[in-house]
Chain A
Amino acid sequence: MALELHPLEQFVIKPIVPLHIGKIDISFTNSALLMTIAVLLATAVVVIGTRREELVPGRIQSLGELAYEFIGNMIDETVGTDGQRYFPFVFTLFMFILFGNVLGLIPFGYTFTGQIIVTFAMAAVVFIGVTLIGIWRHGWHFLSFFVPHGVPIVLLLLLVPIEFLSYLIRPFTLSIRLFANMLAGHTMLAIFGGFAASIGVLGLLPLGLDVLIFFLELLVAVLQAYVFTILTCLYLNDAINLH
């Protein structure tokens, strides 16, 4: 019976304004619409919040200040004051993912962070950017990152390839973590919703469960934005301070 449901239908990309240049499809899709809304909302929170700076902040101002201080403290704790020059990038990343995750929870909406290509693009930007920062700051000395301190030479033959592989695998784990969380969470909501619709009065039981899962998903949405950002900070720390 469960196979009759289509819980993955919510991830289908539908064009809203079809646009084609030659053979390239650049249609404005529901994914692009949600991204635009997320960017506009995140910008609005910060811009409107700081337009009239009051000593006792209102709702929007305290939301903006909270997010700003949260990311500022996170960079201070993980990277140190050296990392503050990368604050704009980390803050933008956090707000984009946070608004994408939370907007995706609106029923009949769309979750663009549930697309592997979106999360992988973000993770690839982080990975390439962090590697370039490391090479730019340390030059050839950056390679010492792959050599653990105080290890016998024989063991290094084994450890250096492992360190190198675990460095190369970072963009994949970073992107799949966010993608899998969003995919599994939203699919689970849809499956339990399908149960509730198909078994009549008894359906109140899965419906109640759905409400509880929704709160878990709200926690996960905020938490995964936090995890993506703090891992970006940790990678930045590796590049700037080399262990």
Chain B
Amino acid sequence: MDSSVVTPPAQEAPPAAPSQQPQPPRKGAVEGSATWRLSDRIGLATCWALGLLFCAIAVAIVVYLLLQGIKYLKPSMLVTPASGGFSQAESGGFSDAFIGTLIVAVMGISLALPAGVGIAVWLVEYGRPAALARITESTIEAIAGIPSIVLALFGTVIFSSTALGFLSRTSEGVVFGRSFFAAAAMLSLVALPLVVASTREGLSAIPQHVREASYAVGKTKIATVRRILLPTARPQVATGAMLGLGRIIGDTAIIVVLLGATQNFAPVGSAFPLNYLRGAGTTLTNFVYEASPTGNLNQPQKAYAAAFVLLLMVLALNAAVDIVHRRARKAGTWSH
């Protein structure tokens, strides 16, 4: 800091920025920190310790679930529906929960992705009238902060209304209000803020002169968005979608309240596939909860197996995001 302090110049040079004078071969960061002040060294050590700690926690969770999952998961569980039974051998698998997870994931993200990307494009590229943009922005932030159980409760109000009765089971004029439609609609709200935030980030990172370059050859704003900006922001859009998917897959509260949390599919009517989507169902998260020692089923081995499947899905999503980003990096970016 203070250059007037008489110390050898080597003591003052921060290890991160190599100084002008010729130096012996570059030292590693930790070795170089020997010349740091004590408080900095303590800070560095704390960072390392915390980093390693969190790595250890993550690895412990993954490895433990992997081991448990490999031990208990049988491929047949993915294709056998749950059934009544007293022992774990009799109670079948969790195929309905597995398929239910896939259904809510696909339905939820196919609502959240277009809406989220649209909102983000409007906020970043248009944003007029400014007051409406501000309101939209804070609304999205508010949704991001609402616990999903509150969204679920709100969803029951909406989807139990007679006008939306066609989306779920209705008997004697009473709308049940629990179906894949209802759950997916509310789950899309869980994913929406993530898609919006990530897409906005991607769009804002594109230098202004790139937009102008497109306008300067006579392109309209919408053509620029479609052909230049969204393709450029694709990695961030993908990240948002994957994070959103992760949230949808991982949500339990909305499933319990709005999907009925039945053991199996409970189709309504006979028009496939609408009968399944209008009916109640379950997902893996709910199955894990029910199968855990606190749940009604109490079959922890299957809980581990289902949790293992969930974990694999989330890891696959992470890997997919990584691939998208790596491919984008290969295409290069602008120098700033």
Q: Tell me, yes or no, whether A binds B.
A: no
